[in-house]
Structure 1
């Protein structure tokens, strides 16, 4: 063969054929290479030369020694089926659905089935229905689930509406899916045509890798960011803070798997982790979930090689498995330069299937009335809440800053997460006084539409990884207020390594004042040339450019990583 790869996995095929098998000469690569008639003529003559011992003769002999076996031909015609089982949390479900879209867009010969509870499957079905020209290769499968059997409130099927104390119950309940999942995998692998199968789950569904092994299929762990996830896994497994000399709040300690020079402090840990003693049930559950997971065949990471070089170095060292960076898993049309409101319109409902607390059109029209990069967007995600005291101080600080804002309000800790808004959560008269300054949203907001708008200048966030990627993809810097999970480690990296974040507070037990809130908001929204906000915005824009480059067809690191994964996922 004379090779001229033009897309997808063809470049890797050409490399293997030329370097490993010796049956090809590569003439050119891609549609943007320059070639001359002399090069074309020379290569053709080499390959067609039949002189004994010549390169063409040697290549021909090697090719004749490689008959295609019947099994290889059968494999080429087998259907390819990826089965996904995300944890029952909005951020996880959204991330998995976007990965499914990306896979079938990249290679339409794949079928992807997402498995979950009936309520979550209905939300995914709505999200798919809201998306224009949804691919037929994405299927949904529900397993019965009764949260009351596990001490959860009636009709609880995900983290939405659960208190922090109830989240461990949901995690423990995930083990109940092993039997129906095993039965489903059995049906798939034994179906007509014997399809090629692999499984993708996140860390909570650890038993899925054992199911995969029992059927001889490969399984992969799907995580968020590299730095934050690795830190969380290692802390859960090792509880390094228990070894501090005196347990002081400001003691520094190393986290196993990270370089000794990378120090963590007590304040980087969530209150829940600080409370663990290594012997309680939560410690045991998290320790199992934080093991280095040799039973997986590889790791998919929702990040880009170029934005997390240090984190990925640590991740690969910790897991000692192949790692594919396939992010950012946000809609591709939002990764074009300055997508604008028309491009982003309706995108949130196409991802979550959730009913919004405010119409996207209203938000966009409100944002249209404000100057470029002047508005602060505030949201703490679907699983997190601050305290009532913190909420009041945050409101006072917002009002004092006099900066325009959109604030997504959820019930504070100690109140029914699904309950109606209560006036006492905010300072008396606050909503009326800030009518011209801000927009208060109860429930879900069209986050992507807001972040894509040119008037949005900063994002006060819990630093969940999905939100981080959505914000930085649009060049919007962050004000960090981590509230759980790996968010504290994300915030640490965003501030110390990337310079795109200022941390205002940590956790729901920290004390803040309206002055601290107002000062940080003014600093980050200050567009003065050379100021802190200006520098952060420029760095955030640079990260956004790296994200766009990562998904560029045939060239981007994430595009090529996904391509590499799909060519290897059934037989590493």
Structure 2
């Protein structure tokens, strides 16, 4: 019996998905939009973002897509940012807070857009706004027009719960001890070494604290939350969120990239990558990627390269300029050990990729054995959905907390933490971590076994007949229908 067709009337509703302009936020939002359209084709779905980001979203859509797009004007130069800085990937980390605050000026344009939809809507057509956590202010617009508001949390449940608690309470500032409990979750004991630099240096009146506090206060007023995780994958984290927030929380993951590349291909090296993987033995290659907007220190980059080379395992590494250099600038060979590129090419042991890579294809290839990752949530879901265990090097935001969760459930080993030089892993430590995960040892074999086990668990959530994420998506759409009376 089909869950959707049997228990769901098709609503003629309009769902507005408002994306934060960061590359990593496109896959889950686009996947959510596509799932909604697939199961409920009567929905009108509009993806909203800044003009540059909307163009990027468009490149991921097929020519015959029924999804609508709406652009909001955004001028980075008005906020002291480079004129082309319309995404976090265009900026160094030091300018991230300026960018985040600048996006709050989208309020009037988004207000006008929602006002026009409400004015033109049928009395029987519910409207739902689904926004990124970083657009918390949209809840006031939703309430102004009596529109149903949902926050889409693109991070994991455990990572999100810890992230909110730390920013809201700054518990590390209330004690001199290196270890402390979270006020809402006394069973969760943190160590100062587990705090990202931004939180560690926060004191409540700094720009980051004020921005995050605003978003959390807005979040407390939303009508519901959908989250890119699975009920069986993160029972602890979901329990923590439900303890803190009293609105419905529906896990609807994993929401993965629907295609390995946009319609106008940006993966110029895909043929090279696939040829390299095809030439390697099964479960022998380590894939390395720190996401679309993160990088590490120059010295860390050299040590990582030396450890990879000395480990003897074949690898594919997506590489960006190190911290302190233009993220859009060209890559210099001097940032790597002398002769490194020539040696790995000659030995056919390594492949360096500049820019984006077809991550899902790499993780799904028979030759890929493990993923050295920054533990961004998209990357975690893509890795575990393919049964690939993780060597963790979390860098910023909630990534360290994601790593904590993965270690706890036996799906990864942590190599390093943070992007500061003090967290630098030595060449020997890199070699040791890679060998532990890739080699024929008991611990590595157990982690690899659990990764295969969790692949089945997380992917079953989307079974149409009784899958937990399928049921959550159904409940979400039903809640949009019930909101008709609020119009």
2:89 is paired with a residue whose SS is coil
Shift of 1:192: 5.1
Q: Which residue of 2 aligns with 1:62?
A: none
Q: Which residue of 1 aligns with 2:405?
A: 493
Q: Is the 8 A contact 1:237 1:289 kept in 2?
A: no
2:429 aligned with 1:516, yes or no? yes
Give 5+ residue unaligned stretches, structure 2. none
2:278 aligned with 1:356, yes or no? no
Shift of 1:161: 2.0
Shift of 1:291: 3.6
Taking the TM superposition and a 5 Å limit, the aligned residue runs for 1:46-57 are: none
Q: Judging changes above 3 Å, is the alpha-carbon distance between structure 1 residues 234 and 484 closer, same or farther for their aligned structure 2 residues? A: same
Larger Rg: 1
**Bigger relative CO (Cα 8 Å, ≥ 6 apart):** 2
Taking the TM superposition and a 5 Å limit, the aligned residue runs for 1:440-459 are: 440-459=352-371
Supply the distance in 2 between the matched residues of 1:256 and 1:96 (Cα, whole angstroms).
Answer: 32
Shift of 1:357: 4.7
Q: Which residue of 1 aligns with 2:279?
A: 369
Shift of 1:87: 1.1
Give 5+ residue unaligned stretches, structure 1. 14-75, 333-346
2:290 aligned with 1:384, yes or no? no
Supply the distance in 1 between the matched residues of 2:359 and 2:474 (Cα, whole angstroms).
Answer: 29
Q: Is the 8 A contact 2:72 2:106 kept in 1?
A: yes
Q: Which residue of 1 aligns with 2:156?
A: 225
2:128 aligned with 1:198, yes or no? yes
Q: Which residue of 2 aligns with 1:567?
A: 478
Shift of 1:167: 0.6
2:179 aligned with 1:252, yes or no? yes
Q: Judging changes above 3 Å, is the alpha-carbon distance between structure 1 residues 156 and 331 closer, same or farther for their aligned structure 2 residues? A: closer
Q: Judging changes above 3 Å, is the alpha-carbon distance between structure 1 residues 550 and 489 closer, same or farther for their aligned structure 2 residues? A: same
- Match for residue 315 of structure 2 among 394, 398, 405: 405
Q: Judging changes above 3 Å, is the alpha-carbon distance between structure 1 residues 6 and 430 closer, same or farther for their aligned structure 2 residues? A: closer
Supply the distance in 1 between the matched residues of 2:411 and 2:169 (Cα, whole angstroms).
Answer: 29
Offset from partner CA, 1:304-345 (integer Å, 9 cap, x none): 10010111000111112101111000157xxxxxxxxxxxxx
Shift of 1:118: 1.2
2:78 aligned with 1:149, yes or no? yes
Q: Which residue of 2 aligns with 1:325?
A: 251
Q: Judging changes above 3 Å, is the alpha-carbon distance between structure 1 residues 7 and 512 closer, same or farther for their aligned structure 2 residues? A: closer
2:219 is paired with a residue whose SS is coil
Structure 1 residue runs of 4+, over 4 Å off? none
Taking the TM superposition and a 5 Å limit, the aligned residue runs for 1:35-46 are: none
Q: Judging changes above 3 Å, is the alpha-carbon distance between structure 1 residues 231 and 192 closer, same or farther for their aligned structure 2 residues? A: closer
Q: Which residue of 2 aligns with 1:424?
A: 334
Normalising to structure 2: TM-score of the pair? 0.94
Q: Is the 8 A contact 1:237 1:288 kept in 2?
A: no
Alignment length (residue pairs): 477
Taking the TM superposition and a 5 Å limit, the aligned residue runs for 1:95-114 are: 95-114=28-47
2:120 is paired with a residue whose SS is coil
More deviation in 186-195 or 271-280? 186-195
Taking the TM superposition and a 5 Å limit, the aligned residue runs for 1:245-324 are: 245-246=176-177, 251-258=178-185, 260-291=186-217, 293-324=219-250
Supply the distance in 2 between the matched residues of 1:454 and 1:182 (Cα, whole angstroms).
Answer: 48
Normalising to structure 1: TM-score of the pair? 0.81
Supply the distance in 2 between the matched residues of 1:257 and 1:437 (Cα, whole angstroms).
Answer: 48
Supply the distance in 1 between the matched residues of 2:217 and 2:179 (Cα, whole angstroms).
Answer: 23
Q: Is the 8 A contact 2:3 2:466 kept in 1?
A: no
Offset from partner CA, 1:6-46 (integer Å, 9 cap, x none): 43163489xxxxxxxxxxxxxxxxxxxxxxxxxxxxxxxxx
2:318 is paired with a residue whose SS is strand
Q: Is the 8 A contact 2:139 2:218 kept in 1?
A: no
2:115 is paired with a residue whose SS is helix
Q: Judging changes above 3 Å, is the alpha-carbon distance between structure 1 residues 568 and 450 closer, same or farther for their aligned structure 2 residues? A: same
RMSD between aligned residues: 1.7
Q: Judging changes above 3 Å, is the alpha-carbon distance between structure 1 residues 429 and 356 closer, same or farther for their aligned structure 2 residues? A: same
Q: Judging changes above 3 Å, is the alpha-carbon distance between structure 1 residues 125 and 409 closer, same or farther for their aligned structure 2 residues? A: same
Supply the distance in 2 between the matched residues of 1:323 and 1:114 (Cα, whole angstroms).
Answer: 22
Shift of 1:568: 1.3
Taking the TM superposition and a 5 Å limit, the aligned residue runs for 1:452-491 are: 452-491=364-403
Q: Is the 8 A contact 2:149 2:224 kept in 1?
A: yes
Supply the distance in 2 between the matched residues of 1:96 and 1:146 (Cα, whole angstroms).
Answer: 23
More deviation in 192-201 or 163-172? 192-201
